[in-house]
Amino acid sequence: MPTTADVSHGRRIVATLWPMVAVSGLVVALKILARGWRRMRWWWDDYLMLMSWLCLTVASAFLTTATTYGLGRHIQFLDQAERHAVLRLGYFAAIFSIGAAVWSKVSFALFLLRISSSGVTECIRRGILGIIISLNIMLVAAITMILMSCRPTAKTWKPELEGTCLDDKVKVAWTVALAAYSGVADLILALLPWKIIWYLPVKRRDKFGLAVMMSLGTFAAAASFMKCAYIHEMVSEDFIDGFMLIFWSIFEPTLTIILSSIPVIRTFIRDLVRAYSTRRSSRRLETESMSSSDTRSAYTANNELVGRKLPAGADRGGPSTASESMADERGDDLSKIEGQENDNV
């Protein structure tokens, strides 16, 4: 008889996964809405960001389903069919979570490459291309390791089958190396905006704000490094272990999706605020113009009666013209970043 209490972390896992999926999904939706609002074309980084979120959602769905079979519980309380189901679902969740993490980074790297102006050195552009290529190689290597970890493949979730598997120490060491490189790539991509944005045709204040926001990718790097500390849980023989590994595996791509979308969403929200302010100003000026027109009509009629002429310029709607000119003078320098058609990519 088992001496350990039958506790479950399943609800805790689910309660952690789906808020992250929801928030990142909202960010992706806002980014798509921003593209439609400004009638801008989609780029490869946009498609990859969407693919990353879809992978994140699928991975979370697999993990959620696994909790119904016993993920988050002590393995001794599960029957053989439940153990097989948890291992099989975890197998597919791992593949999709890796895809989410890598594609979110590649998307951000492509965005940096796209906004790189002619002033950015060729060395930096080649460095970004190198990161993109290496991240995709890492994706292929990680998925290959998962697919080839056992022969036959079914032995991955049915340990009792005849066959061979990679040593657990090899799997842990390989996965730690990949996660560490992922963190280094995040760190480099977080620092590059300071160099790239300097050459963009925007105001100095906007340059600083954008660079700071895009440098928040250092938190994604921290998430990658934190994940390294819990990778040993992937070879644990008890399903109650692994919560922290699951958390960091989902949190990393979630954070990358959010942070890399901030520049687009910031511009979108600013455009909405300006459009709303302009509409209110237009309505106010229209009301004032109508009131002024009524006054001028009465004044004209009165002068016609007494045989006087209107003062020069009295029939011109002057006050609104100055206000509209001031509104038109407000530049939209920040939108040049997303609106530019960079032929370098």
**Mind giving me the DSSP string for 99-165?**
HHHHHHHHHHHHHHHHH--TTS-HHHHHHHHHHHHHHHHHHHHHHHHHHHSEESGGGGT-TTSSSEE
Return the pLDDT at 104.
93
19 vs 104: CA distance, rounded Å: 18
Rounded to 5 degrees, φ, ψ at 105 are: -70, -40
Q: What pLDDT digit, counting tens, does each position of 62-113 carry?
A: 999 999 999 999 999 999 999 999 999 999 999 999 999 999 999 999 988 8
pTM (two decimals): 0.78
- Is the pLDDT at 274 greater than 50? The verdict is yes
In a domain, 325, yes or no: no
Find all residues with CB under 8 Å of 256, minimum gap 6, and list them. 52, 101, 104, 105, 108, 186, 217, 220
In a domain, 289, yes or no: no
Q: Average model confidence (pLDDT) for the chain? A: 81
In a domain, 218, yes or no: yes
In a domain, 182, yes or no: yes
Task: Categorize the per-residue pLDDT at 247 as very low, low, confident or very high, splitting at 50, 70 and 90.
Answer: very high
Find all residues with CB under 8 Å of 307, minimum gap 6, and list them. none
Return the pLDDT at 124.
84
In a domain, 106, yes or no: yes
CATH code for the domain of 62: 1.20.1070
Closest CA to 94 of 54, 51, 59, 43: 59
Return the pLDDT at 333.
43
> Which residues form the domain of 214?
10-260
Distance of CA 300 to the CA centre of its chain: 61
In a domain, 99, yes or no: yes
In a domain, 318, yes or no: no
In a domain, 149, yes or no: yes
Query: How does strand 164-165 pair with strand 150-151?
Result: antiparallel
In this predicted model, which residue has the larger pLDDT, 132 or 326?
132
Task: Give burial (CB, 10 Å; 0-12/13-18/19+) of 341.
Answer: exposed
In this structure, of 11-25, 223-237, 329-343, the range with the lowest mean pLDDT score is 329-343
Could you give the number of structural domains in the chain? 1
Task: Categorize the per-residue pLDDT at 295 as very low, low, confident or very high, splitting at 50, 70 and 90.
Answer: low
Closest CA to 250 of 71, 91, 94: 94
